[in-house]
Chains A and B, each alone.
Chain A
């Protein structure tokens, strides 16, 4: 990795930061300048720059796709897919993962510095969209000199980006892998996000987003995470893991402690989340997801969003127990891709883990992605 980093003047490698002048024109009308990026790359860009794979992360994900997270110390979030001998392999691919616009791990977002005021943006940060995230990524790839991606891969919100990439920039994507995702946020999706946002904004510590000199709205953010986390798991999975089992006690306390294991688990999820995530970022990114409707800009006809995608190969994967972005949403994408004549593969995989399945051990998913990516090579 060091040799590679030196070779590219430190542009490539682990834990990279760069600020590009921009401006980045945003869907909301504002423009961003400069644009900060935090990202990681793995593997070596080949001579004809044809082996680049962009991994897009989900709502609360980050650029540490295959290396340890600096705050939690945990393994990279997709080490089941990305790594030596895996479908996305640094021995063969040049892998890029960029902290998404609006997030809080080093790319431009509410906690980054507004160059006009030299203070953190807070709620002055412009509202962004999934397309803005994609255009920001493309701007960094321009800087890398990468015109065309061998593949763009993402799950959940990462899948929204992976789906938007060929729609916005059809000449720059050879293939796209969209996992456990959707082409639009449904009323139910928006509703769950609104619960989370209201929990944050109802926390007195939120202070209209201007909390960076004091305590963050951890209680509100934890509740937001708890509500969202339920949507990532299946009912059957919850029942199997927790059922009605009590937490380290023999009987109910007739109080409001975490009597049930599921309560204790959710509280833990909420508390550990606030250690690593910013509440304002959570507001901005959930907003971007709620605004996402790929058909909207194309007369309401999703197939039109893929009108120029006949030369991009698509692989769409859903999970049977995912009720956040159910298989029907993936089918909707696939029907539109078929109507547009784009070469498309689609499988609904079986897993007890609900929406989160894409991050977990699903050997069938790896087999499919491996074959799909290899088929793109002559």
Chain B
């Protein structure tokens, strides 16, 4: 992976940035302070939009000159018309939504393709932590404790694949990350800390 042009980005965002066509129409759902959108804006002339729940993040993104709307993925995606974007992006957000399955369906209604990245709850270190420690794992990627975590729907790589299959969606590409570096897709459910999928409806 050549992350040079997006070296400041979180690894999953760098992968997404690398794989978006120029001049695309992009909706970043849960865009945070707009880091990915800002990188895409530098890359080429795209139609970029963001949706973010945290007002301080929205203010920062808008002050950066980005078109970002304060709102909730669980309730606000319905206001976007069908096929109005080429790509929808959901990075590190799926596990925080109330109905991840409905959110994914909405993304694929609004956009032709969807990038989805999430931490893999079946990584061996998490399994070990739960199996041996008997406590809900707290790791670098999932740093919150069970009672204050926004991650209300933890999932594994295999869970995600099963849902995609069940709904009849297509995985166009996928990337797996370990310690911020791309890793071998073999046994990803056990060895990947983080996954990035590119879906088509």
Q: Can you name the residue of chain A whose Cβ is closest to the Cβ of B58? A: A347
Asked whether any CB of chain A lies closer than 8 Å to the CB of B67, the reply is yes
B64 in contact (CB, < 8 A):
yes
Given known A372-B62, A372-B65, A374-B65, contact A347–B79 (CB-CB < 8 A)? no
Q: Given A347-B70, A349-B55, A367 and B63 touching (CB < 8 A)?
A: yes
A364: Cβ under 8 A from any B Cβ: yes
Does B68 belong to the interface (CB within 8 Å)? yes
| 8 Å CB interface, B13-48 against A | 47
B55 and A338 contact, CB distance less than 8 A: no
Q: Which of A344, A345, A371, A372: most chain B CB closer than 10 A? A: A345
Knowing A334-B71, A338-B69, A345-B69 touch, does A367 contact B80 (C-beta < 8 A)? Answer: no
Q: Is there an interface contact between B62 and A368, defined as CB atoms closer than 8 Å?
A: yes
A331, A341, A347, A371: the one within 8 Å of B65 (CB): A371
B59 and A364 contacting across the interface, CB-CB below 8 Å: yes
Q: State the Cβ distance, A197 to closest chain B Cβ, in Å.
A: 35
Given A338-B79, A343-B49, A349-B55, A370 contacting B63 (CB threshold 8 A): yes
Bound form: Cα–Cα A364–B56 in Å: 9
CB contact between A350 and one of B55, B71, B80, B81 (< 8 Å): that residue: B55
Flag if A367 contacts B59 (CB, 8 Å): yes
Q: In the complex, which residue of chain A has the Cβ closest to the Cβ of B76?
A: A335
- Whole-angstrom distance between the Cβ of B30 and the nearest chain A Cβ: 15
**A344–B67 CB distance below 8 A:** yes
A235 close to B (CB within 8 Å): no
Known: A335-B79, A349-B55. A341 touches B67 (CB 8 A): no
- Give chain A nearest CB distance to B60 CB in angstroms: 8
Q: Is A339 in contact with B58, judged by CB distance below 8 angstroms?
A: no
Residues from chain B with Cβ under 8 Å of A372 in the complex:
62-63, 65
With A and B bound together, what is the CA distance between A344 and B70 in angstroms?
10
Write out, one digit per residue, whether chain A residues 325-337 have a CB within 8 A of any chain B CB (1) or not (0). Answer: 0000001001100
Cα distance, A344 to B79, chains bound together (Å)? 13
Inter-chain contacts of B81 with A (CB < 8 A): 339, 341
Which B residues are in CB contact (< 8 Å) with A367? 59, 63
- A74 CB to nearest chain B CB (Å): 29
A345, B79: Cβ atoms closer than 8 Å: no
Cross-chain contact B64 with A334 (CB below 8 angstroms): no
Q: Chain B's interface: helix, strand, loop or mixed, by majority?
A: mixed
Interface membership of chain B positions 71-92, coded 1 if the CB is closer than 8 angstroms to chain A and 0 otherwise = 1000010011100100000000
A339/B80 in contact, CB under 8 A: yes
Residue in B closest to A317 when the chains form the complex, CB atoms: B62
* Chain A residue nearest in CB terms to B48: A343
B62 in complex: contacting residue of A334, A338, A345, A350, CB < 8 Å = A345
B65 shortest CB reach to chain A, Å = 3
Q: Which of A313, A331, A345, A348 contacts B55 (CB 8 A)?
A: A348
- Complex CA distance for A122 and B47, rounded to whole angstroms: 50
Please tell me if A315 contacts chain B, counting CB pairs below 8 Å: yes
Tell me how far the C-beta of B133 lies from the nearest C-beta in chain A, rounded to whole angstroms: 40
Instruction: Provide the bound-state CA to CA distance between A349 and B63, in Å.
Output: 13
Docked Cα-Cα span, A346 to B61, in Å, equals 10
User: A70 to B67, alpha carbons, bound, how many Å?
Assistant: 39
Q: Across the interface, which residues of B come within 8 angstroms of A334, CB to CB?
A: 69, 71
Q: CA of A108 to CA of B44 in the docked complex: distance in angstroms?
A: 48
Please tell me if A3 contacts chain B, counting CB pairs below 8 Å: no
Asked if B155 is at the interface (CB within 8 A of a chain A CB), the reply is: no
- Which chain A residues (357-378) contact chain B, with CB distance < 8 Å? 364, 367-368, 370-372, 374-376
Nearest CB on B from A347, distance (A): 5
CA distance A371 to B65 in the complex (A): 5
What residue in chain A is nearest B57 (Cβ atoms)? A347
- Inter-chain CA distance A367–B79, complex, in Å, is 27
A348 / chain B contacts, CB cutoff of 8 Å: 55, 70
B164 at the A interface (CB under 8 A): no
Contact assessment for A339 and B79 in the assembled complex, using a CB-CB cutoff below 8 Å: yes
Q: Which B residues lie within 8 Å of A338 (CB)?
A: 69, 79-80
25 A-B pairs within 8 Å (CB atoms) are namely A313-B67, A315-B62, A334-B69, A334-B71, A338-B79, A339-B79, A339-B81, A343-B47, A343-B49, A344-B69, A345-B61, A345-B69, A346-B58, A346-B71, A350-B55, A364-B59, A367-B63, A368-B59, A370-B63, A371-B63, A371-B64, A371-B65, A372-B65, A375-B64, A375-B66
A residues touching B (Cβ–Cβ < 8 Å)?
A: 313, 315, 331, 334-335, 338-339, 341, 343-350, 364, 367-368, 370-372, 374-376
Instruction: Sort A-B residue pairs by CB-CB distance and give the 9 closest, nearest first.
Output: A375-B65, A371-B63, A335-B79, A343-B67, A345-B62, A346-B69, A367-B63, A347-B58, A368-B62
Known: A334-B71, A347-B62. 16 other contacts (CB 8 A): A331-B71, A334-B69, A338-B69, A338-B79, A338-B80, A339-B80, A343-B47, A344-B69, A345-B67, A346-B70, A347-B55, A347-B59, A364-B59, A367-B63, A368-B62, A374-B65
